[in-house]
Amino acid sequence: MKHRLIEFLVGLIFGIGLLLSGMSNPSKVLGFLDILGLWDPSLLLVMGGAVFVGLFGFHVAKTRTKNLLGGSLHIPSSKQIDYPLIIGAIFFGIGWGLAGFCPGPAIISFAQGQEKAMAFVFSMIAGMIVFEIFNRRLQKSKHQ
């Protein structure tokens, strides 16, 4: 139960951060992505802060075998750049550029009732389902 409370609080802090930074506002995000037009560089501070925290967090995590709550800690070790990663990154970028959402802010905006976010979240879920279907078929064909 304590773990769930901490997970909830971390998610709540993350969500509040997304709201305060403007990441849940698609027009602000699209303004940031519009580097050849009316570019809005204000999200650079948000991204820079996230990168700093991430670098610090991964540096600390590499020295540990357990997370702060005592559970096992597994850091991905693969550095391979393969087709699924490239294709996923392309689809992520297209979705972000078209809708102005990435998954976290889309869920926040979905909870606020934004129709565009609802369409994005449903499309994201559909994409996850399609990926799982193709991935399972690929794994089956490799084992036969």
The enclosing H or E element of 79 equals: none
The per-residue pLDDT for range 92-129, each reduced to its tens digit, is 888 888 888 888 888 888 988 989 889 999 998 998 99
**Identity of the residue numbered 1:** M
Give start and end residues of each alpha helix (H) in 63-114: 83-99, 103-111
Share of the chain above pLDDT 90, in %: 17
Residue 71: other Cβ atoms inside 10 A: 9
Q: How far is CA 73 from the centre of its chain?
A: 20
Please report the pLDDT score of residue 81 as a whole number: 92
Cα separation, 73 vs 96, whole angstroms: 30
Please report the pLDDT score of residue 55 as a whole number: 94
What is the band of 71 on the pLDDT scale with cuts at 50, 70, 90?
confident
Domain boundaries, given as residue ranges, for the chain = 2-41+78-143
Tell me the β-bridge partners of 109: none
pTM: 0.70
Please report the pLDDT score of residue 66 as a whole number: 87
**Identity of the residue numbered 76:** P
Please report the pLDDT score of residue 103 as a whole number: 87
